[in-house]
Structure 1
């Protein structure tokens, strides 16, 4: 998978004594809530898995609690526009940061589709596996296997979340959507029952900071970016925009469906940001 490098990362602001104090208490609090609830989630799965299999009636609420608390701890504004779909199907969104995981999980019971290497990342990989993330290799030779897995999860009622851009950006644009993963929605047995809900994620930087403050892309180090976000005062915010669900059967093929979703995600971006490539 290629990594977007269409803009130079902004320089990280210096962290003063007050900033390091915020890093310490926010980091410890966020880590305690996250990994403490992870322990509760894993215990709950011991009961949930044998009784319900793919269905998870309890543990997604633990994930949502952690993600909502993350923004409280960070002091970031979190706002939502639109309604979450009730129909069976998937969710697609633009991708700008590791914070997307918290932002998109905070209000909706979803399961991310992620590149396979994330499973091996310290901390994040453990959390991703525990919360039911679907890991894939972006290899066309494995497309059939992926489609079978997606079909199984979608039929179980899971709302899978895809980032069709295939990479994160500076959050100031929406890249053309890759269409490969949309093919899973056109398999027999899914085509006539699924909807796809486009979602736009919009970050607002802290006052006086670079507009791409919260974005994480290219070769940016995770540790440095995490420290910058933990230290920030005042903070900015994130807005989640839920668009009207798109019926899969209304589109002739995966390319038409991907374009409809891409247009919906892009239209909610502030005009100064929706630059495409």
Structure 2
């Protein structure tokens, strides 16, 4: 974090919102974290090079490390996370986009998305709206997809569905890596660190979808959900 914040002192005045250097640090740290946990990491397909966003299923706090390890991205998170001790500070430093789940904030959020996307940031969000046990995919909510249909964005953006698939350690519950409901972070993290023979995580990058070719946000959300579900475990 000290290295990243120091580089931002130089990066920000020179490049503004664009971050040509510091996302590499986040990617490296994420890969190191998975290695420390002893987890096998695989990638199928390739992250898109087009401008736009990635959407994925949400099973665990480990999704953050897995998706950051796969490419240089910026997460979209609920506003409350910004105030979480420690984690909120880390999220802000990593360039996370915080959104409020209120209709009155919809226009401001769309403008924020547009600004970040035009700056070349590849955003990541979880359309399910919550995490699961990792063995199923919930219906995708289409609300955030509306931001991609702005007049200045629709013709230049793509959305890439990504399936995050966890393989539990041998002999463990298939939902071993899932973190949902009222599970505490500390006990879950300790359980993972104490595993003698860890499992793994695989990212499946599906072909990106051009926003301009989608009829509307609901059609785009459904197409992404179908792609993610096609490779999901369980």
**TM-score, with length taken from structure 1:** 0.83
Deviations 1:189-220 (A, max 9, x none): 10001000000000011111111111110000
Q: Distance in 2 between matches of 1:169 and 1:175?
A: 8
Deviations 1:76-126 (A, max 9, x none): 100000011011000000000000000000021110000011112222211
Q: Distance in 2 between matches of 1:185 and 1:117?
A: 24
Consecutive unaligned residues in structure 1, runs of 5 or more: 1-37
Instruction: Give the structure 2 partner of residue 129 of structure 1.
Output: 92
Instruction: Give the structure 2 partner of residue 224 of structure 1.
Output: 187
Consecutive unaligned residues in structure 2, runs of 5 or more: none
Instruction: Give the structure 2 partner of residue 203 of structure 1.
Output: 166
Give the secondary-structure state (helix, strand or coil) at the position aligned to 1:71: helix
Q: Distance in 1 between matches of 2:122 and 2:61?
A: 19
RMSD: 0.7
Q: Distance in 2 between matches of 1:61 and 1:151?
A: 23
Give the secondary-structure state (helix, strand or coil) at the position aligned to 1:197: strand
Deviations 1:142-190 (A, max 9, x none): 1111000000000000001010000000000010000000000000110
Instruction: Give the structure 2 partner of residue 214 of structure 1.
Output: 177
Report the number of matched residues: 234
Instruction: Give the structure 2 partner of residue 251 of structure 1.
Output: 214
Q: Distance in 2 between matches of 1:127 and 1:200?
A: 25
Instruction: Give the structure 2 partner of residue 5 of structure 1.
Output: none
Deviations 1:53-80 (A, max 9, x none): 1000000000001000011111110000
Instruction: Give the structure 1 partner of residue 125 of structure 2.
Output: 162
Q: Distance in 2 between matches of 1:224 and 1:172?
A: 21
1:260 pairs with 218, 223, 234, which one?
223
Q: Distance in 1 between matches of 2:87 and 2:197?
A: 26
Q: Distance in 2 between matches of 1:240 and 1:125?
A: 25
Give the secondary-structure state (helix, strand or coil) at the position aligned to 2:70: coil
Bigger CA radius of gyration: 1
**TM-score, with length taken from structure 2:** 0.99
Give the secondary-structure state (helix, strand or coil) at the position aligned to 2:156: coil
Q: Distance in 2 between matches of 1:157 and 1:207?
A: 41
Instruction: Give the structure 1 partner of residue 48 of structure 2.
Output: 85
Give the secondary-structure state (helix, strand or coil) at the position aligned to 2:162: strand
How far did 1:252 drift? 1.1
Instruction: Give the structure 1 partner of residue 199 of structure 2.
Output: 236
